[in-house]
A and B are shown apart, each in its own frame.
Chain A
């Protein structure tokens, strides 16, 4: 039974990882770090990595730092375009620079998504031009979120902030990073927003996360990601493989949902998937 199901899983899909970084990985260049990431990815059969942010991070990056970070991801993309998809890292505190980076890396470049981290909470109106422009370009938008009982960073978004943003931009494809960290609250916060997807990456492999996400959002709104190199493929893939959900649902989460979400922009760019 298991063999037959997994044969189906293999034939019908590839594993795509929504959430990968060049930080926390050995190597002095983006190319070397990507090669190392792919070595580990190959041990689990992960076919595609969505990569964003540079080799060293800043909470509130300057326009110059943004450009440097994005250049590093562009180098990784150029190195292995068959295995990597890129998201452009933006900072809503620098709107003009961010819109410029969006055009440079997505409109005129090979990237397919936007990454927003902790510079500014995402419910603020400063984000609106970024979201509008990204949506125009058919780019998906990944917003880091966390609900920390120990206290969020000043500019760190919550899933509730993202729900506000989603309501203002119903046509945007938004991804709730880490499912809010405290996922039992985070998943509830994004539940009514049909244009918000849950990223499973980056928290502990706590049993029940994936089952609740599927139950409350529907299988089509749940996406596997790892948050490597800070996390491991092992702990994050276990959230899907270990979950008490049907094999068909696992296939959606491990690759099919992300592929479907990215399909419009991949098609525009002529990227075969």
Chain B
């Protein structure tokens, strides 16, 4: 028997579920049926619209949703690439909501972009919560030009927490070594964040694309500071998820793919690379995200 025969066959089975062919095959599978399976995923890090610097194969919502559904994603928290550079964020968030409703097939949940450096950003926050009924918001401080010590950022966190909005904070979008020379957005410095989180016990904060730059003590301090979660799209190293779980409780780790900028399969395969217990797998795949989202559902029922 050749090395790895059994596991290779099993892996190819997994890969087929992640392939384009499998996407077509799974087109007919409905979301509710997915929801009943133990392998259901909640992807907390996808983006709609066009990445400003490259055409992506899954930049159309229909294709992205087909890929997600084909891989058992029952819910995907969707921001928009338009939120990085557009100044009319009211328009951006309205389009995001519309696109999730029109082409999301019950999978996409919109997370609006807020830039606290723009005039009257509080109205944007209100619309995200009250008009678009979003579960949360997504922040890009390095594209919007502010540091986390800015008083407006603290105010934004406070207002979002009061509205029970999940706050997603993206530390980086791509490898800083290969950014466009005219669009270099350095990773967000998280040093002020733990202090802010400690002051806001009701804040629910999800760090996106964080694990490239945020590690060791700064990461642990943040996790210990409050309701802080991380997702795995930029987690690297051999057996990365297993290594992370030696430091961070599995109740704080979420599945995020960073699709369509990253190949979706990257995060999916990370769950296979590390031997994980059933509980760890369940938490990361969907349970943690569902718990987080439950607070939103309570809000919408008020």
Contact = CB atoms under 8 A, between A and B. Distances in A.
A95 to B, nearest CB: 30
6 contacts: A2-B22, A6-B16, A232-B238, A234-B267, A235-B266, A241-B19
Interface stretch (B145-153, B188-196, B215-223, B257-265): B257-265
A234 B4 contact: no
A2 B21 contact: yes
Contacts of B174: 204, 206
Interface stretch (B7-15, B35-43, B111-119): B7-15
Contact of A37 (B16, B179, B238): B238
A206 B260 CA distance: 9
Interface string B214-251: 00000000000000000000111111100000000000
A45 B11 contact: yes
Interface stretch (A85-93, A143-151, A187-195, A257-265): A143-151
B130 interface: no
A43 B273 contact: yes
Nearest to B264: A242
A10 B178 contact: no
A44 B175 contact: no
B238 A2 contact: no
Contact of B8 (A15, A37, A207): A15
Contact of B11 (A25, A44, A183): A44
B7 A238 contact: no
Nearest to B17: A2
Interface in A200-259: 203-208, 211, 228-235, 237-239, 241-244, 247
Given A42-B7, A45-B4, A241-B18, A181 B178 contact: yes
Contacts of A28: none
Taking residues whose C-beta sits less than 8 angstroms from the other chain, chain B's interface range is 35 or more
A182 B175 CA distance: 9
Contacts, number: 171
Interface of B: 2-5, 7-13, 15-22, 24-25, 54-58, 174-181, 184, 234-240, 259-270, 272-273
B272 A208 contact: no
A149 B265 contact: no
A2 B236 CA distance: 29
Interface in A23-66: 24-25, 36-37, 40-47
A9 B58 contact: no
Contact of A207 (B10, B24, B263, B268): B263
A5 interface: yes
A42 B273 CA distance: 9
B178 A207 contact: no
B266 A205 contact: yes
A148 B282 CA distance: 39
A4 B54 CA distance: 33
A188 to B, nearest CB: 14
Taking residues whose C-beta sits less than 8 angstroms from the other chain, chain A's interface range is 35 or more
Nearest to B259: A207
A181 B20 contact: no
Contact of A244 (B22, B57, B269): B57
A45 B6 CA distance: 8
A163 to B, nearest CB: 19
Contacts of B22: 2
A41 to B, nearest CB: 7
Given A6-B16, A42-B3, A228 B238 contact: yes
Contacts of B178: 147-149, 181-183, 203
A231 B269 CA distance: 13
A9 B262 CA distance: 24
Contacts of A206: 174-175, 261-263
Interface of A: 1-3, 5-6, 9-10, 14-15, 24-25, 36-37, 40-47, 82-83, 146-150, 181-184, 203-208, 211, 228-235, 237-239, 241-244, 247
Given A2-B22, A239-B263, A40 B269 contact: no
A259 to B, nearest CB: 13
A162 to B, nearest CB: 17
Q: Which of B5, B57, B269 has the most CB of A within 10 A?
A: B269
Contacts of A147: 178
Given A45-B9, A208-B57, A232-B240, 20 more contacts: A2-B16, A3-B16, A10-B12, A37-B238, A42-B7, A43-B272, A45-B7, A45-B8, A47-B4, A149-B184, A150-B177, A204-B262, A206-B263, A207-B263, A232-B273, A234-B266, A234-B269, A234-B272, A235-B269, A242-B265
B27 to A, nearest CB: 13
A35 B146 CA distance: 47
Nearest to B177: A148
A204 B234 contact: yes
B177 A181 contact: yes
Q: Which of B7, B10, B265 has the most CB of A within 10 A?
A: B265
B263 A24 contact: no
B15 A230 contact: no
A42 B4 contact: yes
B211 to A, nearest CB: 12
A241 B15 contact: yes
Contacts of A238: 18, 262-266, 268-269
Contacts of B19: 2, 241, 247
